[in-house]
Amino acid sequence: MVIIKYGSGGSFTHMSRSTRDALAGGFANVISFDLEHWYTATLLRDEVDDPIDRIETSVEIVLDVLDEHETAATFFVVGDVAREYPELIERVADAGHEIASHGQTHTPLFELTPEAFTEELDASADAIETAIGRRPTGFRAPNFSVTPRTRWAFDALLETGYRYDSSVFPVKTPMYGVNGAPVSPYWVDRRRPFIDASPSDTDDLFELPLAVFHPRVRIPTAGGFYGRILPRWLLSRGISNLNRRGIPATIYFHPWEFNPEVRVDGVPAHKRFISFHGLDRAREKLGELLAAHEFTTCKRVMELYDH
């Protein structure tokens, strides 16, 4: 077992030689997509009347780009979407992609009780199992809402049979984030869930934090709004910064971000900018990232780490 350290940043991860070799081979970054209705996004859910559904065309755009670059991704699927579009979710799985949970109703955890969250986890797992014949092992919270305020989420995830989470955003932003959280994947100790604990102290839940530009320069570069507004070279540099330190980058997008037809009028200017800026070039930028770096699924990265 080797503990990789970098400067004053402390211990970031616990890796076997095979994991380090895999990372050196350049294939252990994570590409993921949060699959929800575009109008349920936090900034849009109270702004859009009678929205037009774009979910099928948006997913097809993403599948085409992934297929072009022969890349497997993780899709974090809202349970309501899986129930409404089981054949679409089955198609995503049949294309070789991992299906994980994004909750049942795309409700941030700070709007739920622990009991209601547990019900959401079970319901979304049931919906996904109905669609693809197997239950998900991974979860991502809407709005990255696993924070010290909702740390009870780790208990619920373990109790409902999930193996990993990818909800920790290791920099505080106006909407989400946990200052000082690890930037590298780690096994969670429920007593100290936002600290990279030694393996002997951990529970059986793996955390894949979202990417930042550099362990000591925590500019959000994981994707979403930041992926659309920042230039591709800066996103790519951030991935390389992490990889050079033995850290796989976990990035994310939403399928609707690749479909400019989701733009609607009547949304306040600041929400319109955050939600819709950069949609026209998003597909091209995704292709450039996939061409410049190797990506895989959350589950594959979890399997590379010792426990």
CATH of the domain at 110: 3.20.20.370
Strands 29-35 and 250-253: parallel
Please check the confidence at residue 303 and state whether its pLDDT lies above 60: yes
Distance CA 252, CA 246 (A): 20
Question: What is the spatial distance between Cα 296 and Cα 191, in angstroms, rounded to a whole number?
Answer: 30
Distance from chain centroid for Cα 241: 19
Dihedral sign from CA coordinates of 192, 197, 202, 208: positive
Q: Domain range for residue 258?
A: 2-304
* Overall average pLDDT of the 98-127 stretch: 97
Q: Which value, to the nearest 10 degrees, does the dihedral of the CA atoms of residues 246, 247, 248, 250 take?
A: -170
Nearest one of 26, 28, 25 to 305, comparing CA atoms: 28
Structure tokens, 73: 């991704």
The tally of domains found in the chain comes to 1
Please give the model's pTM, rounded to 2 decimal places.
0.88
Contacts of 273 (CB under 8 A, 6+ apart): none
CA neighbours within 13 Å on the CB side: how many for 140? 28
End-to-end CA distance of the chain: 10
Q: Residue 98: its pLDDT value, please?
A: 99
Highest mean pLDDT among 131-135, 173-177, 188-192, 253-257: 131-135
pLDDT at 48: 64
Kindly tell me if the per-residue pLDDT of 79 is higher than 50: yes
Residue in this structure with the two tokens 């819709």, named with its chain if needed: 276
> Where does the pLDDT of residue 154 fall: very low under 50, low under 70, confident under 90, or very high at 90 and above?
very high
Question: Which uninterrupted H or E stretch holds 23?
Answer: helix 17-24
Q: Mean pLDDT across the chain, nearest whole number? A: 86
- Asked if residue 271 has pLDDT above 90, the reply is no
Q: Spell out a b/e string for 185-212, using b for 16 or more CB atoms within 10 Å of the CB, else e.
A: bbbbbeeebbebbeeeebbebbbbbbbb
Q: What are phi and psi of 302, to 5 degrees?
A: -55, -40
Residue 299 neighbours by CB distance under 10 Å: 19
- At position 255, the amino acid (one-letter code) is P
Q: What is the rounded distance in angstroms from the CA atom of residue 32 to the CA atom of residue 136?
A: 14
| DSSP 8-state secondary structure symbol assigned to residue 100 | E
pLDDT average, residue stretch 118-130:
98
- Who's near 24: CB < 8 A, 6+ residues apart? none
Query: CB–CB of 165/152 below 8 Å?
Result: no
Helix (H, G, I), strand (E, B) or coil at 132: helix
pLDDT of residue 198: 62
C-alpha–C-alpha distance, residues 50 and 45, integer Å: 11
SS3 139: strand
